[in-house]
Amino acid sequence: LLYSHKDKRVSAICMDSPFADFRRLAKEMCLNVIRIPNFLLETAINIVSRTVKKKNNFDIDTLKPIEAAKVTETPAIFVHAKSDELIPIQHTIDIGEEYIGERSIKTCEGGHNSARPRVVLDEIGRFFAKHLVPGYIDERETNIFEDVEQDSNDNNKEKNDKGFEAL
């Protein structure tokens, strides 16, 4: 999400349990473990931020997917487990509300590291097929066989090796 609006080669995105803003997530995670005054928490996060920037030349405050959502048009599917103990579902909801591109938000049972149910994986597969496979038709939306009439004269139809008729 952070880079897809800059790289037009990215045709579709799947985000599983995304965080909206790293600093916000860090605060929420700390407050879930200990009760600490906000000014002390902010000071601690600023120290960590400066240390990371100094040692790794990376600014953790640039990790704001919610800002990228405001300029990203790449089709996206968001997935979030209802009992995610690491990243609150509100992060996904907030990103989804800001997302300007085509988007779908799916929730499922489980926690952050739970295996995703088959139905969710199938939905993700259909999403990618729709956006990455030229000519893909979702059989749930369109039944391509419903308009085909039975022809009693099968002599003028070719059949492939699996017995399907060439139309």
Q: From first to last of its 167 residues, what are the pLDDT tens digits of the chain?
A: 888 888 889 999 999 999 999 999 999 988 888 888 888 889 998 999 999 999 999 999 999 999 999 999 999 999 999 999 999 999 999 999 999 999 999 999 999 999 999 999 999 999 999 999 887 777 666 544 444 444 444 444 443 343 333 33
Give me the pLDDT at residue 126, please: 93
Give me the pLDDT at residue 142, please: 53
pTM over 0.85: no
> At a CB cut-off of 8 Å and minimum separation 6, what does 1 contact?
13, 15, 18, 65, 68, 69, 72, 76, 95
Residue 34's beta-bridge partner residues?
none
Give me the pLDDT at residue 38, please: 85
Give me the pLDDT at residue 134, please: 80
End-to-end CA distance of the chain: 42
Give me the pLDDT at residue 140, please: 67
Task: Measure the CA–CA gap between 105 and 96, rounded to whole angstroms.
Answer: 7
